[in-house]
Amino acid sequence: MLIVAGYLRVTDRDRYLENCRDVVALARATEGCLDFTLGADLVETDRVNIYERWATRDAVEHFRGTGTSADLDAQIVGADVREFEYATDIRI
């Protein structure tokens, strides 16, 4: 499995998140997507938190094939997003 987690810094967080509704729906409908969410940070007004969980790297690469729109890209002014792979699934 692959986890993608981190945050984006954006110029207008509310507008950015509203424009991402379709992206989230598309991701969740993609085969191999186990979870996909974007959310407003409770403390920093320009921060969008990211959490994604994918069954395989191929699944995430297939989804990301076309990238985001130029409008969304233009709103991002910084980022710290990382990928983590793991082989075991321990449920608590």
Report the distance separating Cα 63 and Cα 74, nearest Å: 20
Q: What is the mean pLDDT of residues 20-24?
A: 92
Residues present in the chain in total: 92
Q: How many CA atoms lie within 13 A of 56 on its CB side?
A: 6
Q: How many CB atoms neighbour CB 16 within 10 A?
A: 19
Per the CB < 8 A criterion, the answer to whether 56 and 20 are in contact is no
Quick one: pLDDT band at residue 71, thresholds 50, 70, 90?
confident
Structural domains of the chain, ranges and CATH numbers in brackets: 2-85 (3.30.70.100)
Q: Which two tokens stand for residue 87?
A: 């082989």
Residue 68: pLDDT above 80?
Answer: no
pLDDT value at residue 67? 55
